[in-house]
Amino acid sequence: MPLMTTCKASSDPADVNADGAVAIIAQVTQGAVPVIGAAVEALIEREGKKATTLNLLDDGNGADIVAGDGIYARYFTDYDVSVRYSISCSASATDATSVNAGFDSPMTTRAEPETSEALSPLCCGSTALRANSKLSPTGAFERKMSAGQITAPPTKPKFPPGQVRDLRATIQYPDDPRVTLEFTSPGGDYDNGVVSAYDIRVHDDWNTAFAFDAAEDVKTSALELLEGDFNPVPSKEVKRLVMQLPIDYVEKSLYFVMKSEDDEGLISDVSNVAEAYFDDVFPPAQVTDFSVVEDEDDRRSFRVSFTAPGDDAYNGVASAYEIRTAVDRDVLDFDFEAATLIEEVALTPIQGNDAFEFTFDSRDIFDADKTNYVAMRAVDNRGQWSDISNIEAVDVDTGMSGGAIAGIVIGCVFGVAIIAAIVVYFVKK
């Protein structure tokens, strides 16, 4: 099928979602199927002045509505009122140019975005390029088409920054949890120029996700900027920010929105809402100060102490503690569940990072006259276990001092001697 290009310029509100702007729109197709990834330019000419070129983009931002649908657009804002302009478009192939045949095999099916929803509407930043889209390279081509002439509007308003429609939030879990924000930067005049500032907000409540003023500024929030900065970049460049997430956001959905401001104080419309769920991948912290010592007042009792782990590292409260013992240290090191659970010790977990201490009776728990090894771990509400704590060695004897044992032995000897004497006396009688 032949490759075709159409080109038009319009200030009609039906074509332009921006007051007073002129939109230049090109469409590149193979038959009825969109061609994506092409290099498309608009040439804007007027008598007595140097021609202007605009790169038209199919990115779902600015004058373009849906990304990946073969329609390339850009706002023309640098015009003189009531002046007549001649406009033409050119399209050529790049290494990335493909025919987007959608997700059905026939080439007659038009590529469209997936089903719309609140966070991903069927316009305004959505995309017709899907993971299972059928793409095929076009090969080299060049096409040119005239849009004719257009008279610029009789008045020219001050143009605000463009609306961001592709704000994206992604959470990763390396050593520290972090969220990456990405968006295509708008211009100071819709999709041209540079804005003066970005205003990015974050919510953790869906009920207020669209309430921009009620959200928290990410610059003053608990999010810590790790990569990037908040300095604006030119229109159509991708801005990327990486921020560290505090662990108390775990098991929450975060909702990001933004606006932009230009050098005249004009504010853009609020962006799409970018949602990211901070999953609980954090088990309780490993206890590293586990201590088991003999009670000075009662040698049959032992005092246990440790810094309490939380539900997520040291944050929150763990669901349970588990203490086990074995006479073979390797069992605790390599097969913890095979060690003997000290069921007599029923513990109620406390707030993470607080000091925990208790005393228990060692009778019927430890093997007497042997070295017993003891360790612990904690579990959270999702069944995630901490690493095993440090292992403590406990020496258990019969519970009697050497003097006490000697006294018993001497007493037994004297008792036997007395009994023997009595027996001899009665025998002689």
pLDDT digits (tens), the chain, 429 positions? 788 999 998 876 555 555 677 899 999 999 889 999 999 999 999 988 889 999 999 998 888 988 889 999 999 988 888 899 999 999 999 999 999 886 544 433 444 444 444 444 444 456 777 777 888 899 999 999 999 998 888 888 889 999 999 999 988 875 678 899 999 999 999 989 999 999 999 988 877 777 899 899 999 998 999 999 999 999 999 999 999 888 777 777 889 999 999 999 999 999 999 988 877 777 899 999 999 998 877 777 888 999 999 888 888 899 999 999 999 999 999 999 999 998 766 789 999 999 999 888 877 788 888 899 999 999 988 788 999 999 999 887 655 444 444 455 455 555 555 665 565 555 565
Q: Are residues 41 and 178 in the same domain?
A: no
Q: Are residues 101 and 58 in the same domain?
A: yes
Strand partners, 253: 277
Q: Are residues 9 and 145 in the same domain?
A: yes
> Among the three residues 103, 118, 151, which one is the final residue of a domain in this structure?
151
State how far the Cα of 246 lies from the Cα of 243, in Å rounded to an integer. Answer: 10
CA distances from 286 to 304, 310, 359, 379, 390 (A): 16, 10, 21, 10, 9
Q: Are residues 307 and 338 in the same domain?
A: yes
State how far the Cα of 87 lies from the Cα of 145, in Å rounded to an integer. Answer: 9
pLDDT of residue 402: 47
State how far the Cα of 331 lies from the Cα of 373, in Å rounded to an integer. Answer: 9
Q: Are residues 183 and 242 in the same domain?
A: yes
pLDDT of residue 19: 67
State how far the Cα of 56 lies from the Cα of 74, in Å rounded to an integer. Answer: 5
Q: Are residues 37 and 145 in the same domain?
A: yes
State how far the Cα of 177 lies from the Cα of 171, in Å rounded to an integer. Answer: 7
Return phi, psi of residue 411, to 5°: -60, -40
Q: Please indicate, yes or no, if residue 286 is contained in any of the structural domains.
A: no
Q: Please indicate, yes or no, if residue 20 is contained in any of the structural domains.
A: yes
pLDDT of residue 121: 42
Q: Are residues 106 and 231 in the same domain?
A: no
Biggest CA–CA distance in the chain, Å, is 153
Strand partners, 56: 40
> Among the three residues 250, 278, 306, which one is the final residue of a domain in this structure?
278
Counting the structural domains of the chain, the total is: 4
State how far the Cα of 123 lies from the Cα of 272, in Å rounded to an integer. Answer: 11
Q: Please indicate, yes or no, if residue 162 is contained in any of the structural domains.
A: no
Q: Are residues 128 and 214 in the same domain?
A: no
Tell me the residue range of the domain where 82 lies: 3-151
CB atoms within 10 A of CB 102: 22
> DSSP characters for 80-98?
-TT-EEEEEEEEE--TT-E
Q: Are residues 134 and 195 in the same domain?
A: no
- With b for 16 or more beta-carbon neighbours within 10 A and e for fewer, the 142-172 pattern comes to ebebebeebebeeeeeebbbbbbbbbbbebe
Q: Please indicate, yes or no, if residue 159 is contained in any of the structural domains.
A: no
CATH value at residue 227: 2.60.40.10
pLDDT digits over 374-402, tens only? 999 999 887 889 999 999 998 876 554 44
- Long-range contacts, stretch 227-232, CB < 8 angstroms, 24+ apart: 230/197, 230/198, 230/200, 232/185, 232/194, 232/195, 232/196, 232/197, 232/198, 232/260
pLDDT of residue 410: 56
pLDDT digits over 233-290, tens only? 999 999 999 998 887 777 778 899 999 999 999 999 999 999 888 777 778 999 999 9
Q: Please indicate, yes or no, if residue 161 is contained in any of the structural domains.
A: no
Q: Please indicate, yes or no, if residue 285 is contained in any of the structural domains.
A: no
Instruction: Please report which residue ranges of 208-335 form alpha helices under DSSP H.
Output: 329-334
> Among the three residues 103, 120, 151, which one is the final residue of a domain in this structure?
151
pLDDT of residue 1: 73
Q: Are residues 20 and 127 in the same domain?
A: yes
Q: Please indicate, yes or no, if residue 376 is contained in any of the structural domains.
A: yes
pLDDT of residue 301: 85
Strand partners, 258: 200
- Verdict on whether the full-model pTM lies above 0.95: no
Q: Are residues 22 and 134 in the same domain?
A: yes
CB of 56 within 8 A of CB of 29? no
Q: Are residues 227 and 300 in the same domain?
A: no
Reference 237, options 191, 189, 170; nearest CA is 191
31: tokens are 């038959």
Q: Please indicate, yes or no, if residue 103 is contained in any of the structural domains.
A: yes
